[in-house]
């Protein structure tokens, strides 16, 4: 099993461009696995961890409801935002500047073959990372992602997740709100959940500007520890 994970920071990148890049890495891993099975060989499969920020964009998962997008095409243009239907799980979400988006492109056969465990591990990475900001992240029973104050009438979501997996190879991932403009979430019903309150690290720290580069380093460290991976 190859637990080496190559970390690549894509900076600010158009959503479709990053999606195509994800797909190319995903296809590379799947092709190796197909060839291994075909030729009865054992070529090691690579793993990748992509960090990126996107310009304003709304994405709808394959099981999502388009009615959860509350603005029309002209309003999208006015807000300098784009919209894509994509092949991950989950409903609608927003990505934008000030948000750390992470796409692990992993061969889970290098780690474990359990999608639910994989999602819980991603959540654990976020929960551990939030502790660095004295923020108590929590799981919300029956819902994917990381939340705050789940035992109150108004839990707040700080990190959304949606993944795709085929042949135990993953793509898509999570979006952690750091310094993101939360007003953009008013244009959707986030994750298809009405009255879903969205927050960010900055918002929880009284609008203090957070060093995103440092946040990525914290996330990378906790990914390494949770997944017992070697980051290269």
CB 59 within 8 A of CB 96: no
Residue 50 to residues 74, 90, 101, 193, Cα–Cα distance (Å)? 32, 20, 8, 27
Q: How crowded is residue 3: how many other Cβ atoms within 10 Å of its Cβ?
A: 14
Tokens describing residue 5: 């994970």
Distance between CA atoms of residues 123 and 141, nearest Å: 12
Short-list 218, 203, 146, CA closest to 137: 146
DSSP annotation of 190 reads: G
Which residues are known catalytic residues?
Answer: 191
Tokens of 195: 């009255």
Between CA 6 and CA 87, with CA 56 as vertex, the angle to 5 degrees is 60
> Residue 152 has which token pair?
């109150």
């Amino acid at each position: 099993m190859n637990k080496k994970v190559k970390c690549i920071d894509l900076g600010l990148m158009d959503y479709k461009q990053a999606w195509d890049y994800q797909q190319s890495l995903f296809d590379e891993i799947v092709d190796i696995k197909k060839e291994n099975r075909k030729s009865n060989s054992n070529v090691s499969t690579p793993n990748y961890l992509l960090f990126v920020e996107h310009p304003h964009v709304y994405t709808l998962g394959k099981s999502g409801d388009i009615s959860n997008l509350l603005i029309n095409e002209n309003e999208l243009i006015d807000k300098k935002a784009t919209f894509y239907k994509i092949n991950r799980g989950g409903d609608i979400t927003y990505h934008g500047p000030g948000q750390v988006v992470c796409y692990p492109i992993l061969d889970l056969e290098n780690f474990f073959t359990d999608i639910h465990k994989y999602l819980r591990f991603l959540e654990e990475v976020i929960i551990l990372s939030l502790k660095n900001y004295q923020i108590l992240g929590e799981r919300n029973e029956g819902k994917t992602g990381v939340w705050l104050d789940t035992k109150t009438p108004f839990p707040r979501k700080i990190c959304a997740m949606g993944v795709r997996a085929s042949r135990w190879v993953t793509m898509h991932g999570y979006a952690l709100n750091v310094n993101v403009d939360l007003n953009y979430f008013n244009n959707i019903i986030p994750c298809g959940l009405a009255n879903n309150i969205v927050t960010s690290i900055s918002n929880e720290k009284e609008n203090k500007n957070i060093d995103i580069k440092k946040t990525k380093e914290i996330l990378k460290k906790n990914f390494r520890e949770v997944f017992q991976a070697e980051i290269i």
